[in-house]
Amino acid sequence: MTETSRIESTAAIGAARDERLRQQSGLRRLLSRPELGAFAGAVLVFIFFGITAHGTGMFAADGVLNWTTVSAYLMVIAVGAALLMIAGEFDLSVGSMIGFAGMMIALPTIVFHWPVTLSVIFAFAGALAIGFINGLIVIRTGLPSFIVTLASLYILRGLTLALSILFTNRTIVVGMKEAAEGTFVGFLFSGTIGDPLFTWLADNDIIGRLPNGDPSVRGIPMVVVWALFIALVGHIVLARTKVGNWIFASGGDANAARNVGVPVGAVKISLFMLTAFCATVFAACQVFEFGSAASDRGLLKEFEAIIAAVIGGCLLTGGYGSVIGACLGALIFGVVQMGILFTGVPNDWFRVFLGGMLLIAVLFNNLIRRRVVGGR
């Protein structure tokens, strides 16, 4: 990405050709983007299910809503994970952070009777602080983020369970739906938008209706809006700003980046805060959608986020990847996960097919990228 933009600017300044730069056609430049493989993988996946899950309801309105919602939840955390991975670090505490952030919203609301808005602000502040501490420890000690955040994984999961038992003597804190009734934050995280559109679609028989006359889909859930919003901001920052270049540089070679004046520490710490922020958005959407926080929420979601980023073309070693790729990765994972259920594969074999499909998507992605980039 950085190279591309540099080539463009050089070309714009001097009409004279610089023999040190290889000339690339526009098509080739388009094809060498990191998200191309993921895009091809996504197309492959849709073709596959278009054939195997044809007529099962997967592509009816409520079926689409189902896998869109699953993908959107994953996309929220995948964007954070991808940006951090491009900067050369991992955050394994994302899943536990989801559980913990949920408790930070639910416990103050239910036990201490705080207004929900205040609880949500408290949860975001708390999550950012934890992200900051994660980042600070990684930067100060130079320990692998893999180990540091593995510790946070256990600490946060444990705290989630311990605090909910301590305050309520149960592991599930309920009553959030009632507490958020009619509030703006309730709408912000679990409302739906575009309801009139769907009513119109149902009136014109474009989507189905329930027996009671309501359209089969009420509206677009806010988590989808959040996912697109985070993805858009993440993409712009990474691809169009100085900070984006810093992120690539920190992940490519941290020392070299430091030597040319990139604030590597600050970049990485803010990205750890970003992953915690994304986890909290995930948690807030879940808490307000289901009306409760539970100590086992978000189990293994950190791996799903990393998988989505990698399917989307991020390198595990850092320095390469894209936000759009991660979003496509989340889409692939969500569609495969729910799509297999539509095809009616026996449950005992379900994970085998899930793993197989993901492997094929990644191999295909890799193949396309190699073909196009050519020996890189």
Partner 1 sequence: MTAGIIRRTFLAATLALPFLGLVAPAHAAGERFVFVSHAPDSDSWWNTIKNALKNAEHDLSVKVEYRNPSTGDIADMARIIEQAAASNPTGIITTIADYNVLESAIKGAIAKGIPVVTVNSGTGEQSKKLGALLHIGQPEYDAGKGAGERAKAAGVTKFLCVNHFITNTVSVERCQGYADGLGVKLGDQMLDSGIDPTEVYNKVKAFLTAHPDTNGILTLGPNSADPTIKLLRDMGSAGKFKSFISFDLDSDISKAIKDGIMEAAIDQQPYLQGYLPVVFLTEYARYGVIPANNINTGPGFVTKKNIGLVEKLAGEYR
Q: Tell me if 183 contacts partner 1 by CB under 8 A.
A: no
Question: 131 and 274 in contact (C-beta within 8 Å)?
Answer: yes
| C-beta of 41 vs 221, nearer to partner 1 | 221
Q: Tell me if 205 contacts partner 1 by CB under 8 A.
A: no
Helix (H) or strand (E) holding 24: none
Among 294, 326, 327, 330, binds partner 1 (CB under 8 A): 294
Stretch that binds partner 1, among 36-44, 118-126, 287-295, 307-315 (CB under 8 A): 287-295
Stretch that binds partner 1, among 40-48, 56-64, 126-134, 323-331 (CB under 8 A): 56-64
Question: 292 and 172 in contact (C-beta within 8 Å)?
Answer: yes
Tokens representing 206 are 């474009």
Please give the Cα distance from 268 to 262 (Å, whole number). Answer: 11
Please give the Cα distance from 95 to 153 (Å, whole number). Answer: 7
| C-beta of 5 vs 171, nearer to partner 1 | 171
The residue type of 75 is: M
Among 212, 259, 260, 376, binds partner 1 (CB under 8 A): 212
Question: 71 and 330 in contact (C-beta within 8 Å)?
Answer: yes
| C-beta of 144 vs 356, nearer to partner 1 | 356
Among 5, 23, 141, 171, binds partner 1 (CB under 8 A): 171
Minimum separation from the CB atom of position 248 to partner 1 (A): 34
Q: DSSP letter for 221, please.
A: E
Tokens representing 14 are 């001097």
Q: Tell me if 300 contacts partner 1 by CB under 8 A.
A: yes
Cα end-to-end distance, the chain, whole Å: 15
Binding mask 341-360 for partner 1 (x = CB under 8 A): xx-x-xx--xx---------
Q: Tell me if 119 contacts partner 1 by CB under 8 A.
A: no
Minimum separation from the CB atom of position 301 to partner 1 (A): 9
Annotate 90-123 with b (16+ C-beta within 10 A) or e (fewer).
bbbbbbbbbbbbbbbbbbbbbeeebebeebbebb
Stretch that binds partner 1, among 37-45, 227-235, 265-273, 337-345 (CB under 8 A): 337-345
Q: Tell me if 54 contacts partner 1 by CB under 8 A.
A: no
Tokens representing 170 are 């149960």
User: Cβ–Cβ contacts within 10 Å for residue 61, how many?
Assistant: 18
Q: Tell me if 128 contacts partner 1 by CB under 8 A.
A: no
Q: Tell me if 299 contacts partner 1 by CB under 8 A.
A: yes
Question: 132 and 76 in contact (C-beta within 8 Å)?
Answer: no
Among 234, 291, 312, 313, binds partner 1 (CB under 8 A): 291
- Residue 215 main-chain phi, psi, to 5 deg: -65, 150
User: For the chain, how big is the Rg over CA atoms in Å?
Assistant: 22
Give the residue carrying structure tokens 């189990």. 299
Tokens representing 19 are 């023999």
Minimum separation from the CB atom of position 201 to partner 1 (A): 16
Beta strands in the chain (DSSP E): 172-174, 192-193, 220-221, 292-294
Interface of this chain with partner 1, residues 57 to 96, rule: CB under 8 A = 57-58, 60, 62-63, 65-67, 69-70
Q: Tell me if 297 contacts partner 1 by CB under 8 A.
A: yes
Give the residue carrying structure tokens 């095809």. 343
Minimum separation from the CB atom of position 191 to partner 1 (A): 13
Q: Tell me if 195 contacts partner 1 by CB under 8 A.
A: no
Minimum separation from the CB atom of position 211 to partner 1 (A): 5
Q: Tell me if 259 contacts partner 1 by CB under 8 A.
A: no
Minimum separation from the CB atom of position 75 to partner 1 (A): 15
Chain residues binding partner 1 by CB under 8 A are: 56-58, 60, 62-63, 65-67, 69-70, 161, 165, 170-172, 174, 177, 210-212, 214, 216, 286, 289-292, 294-300, 338, 341-342, 344, 346-347, 350-351
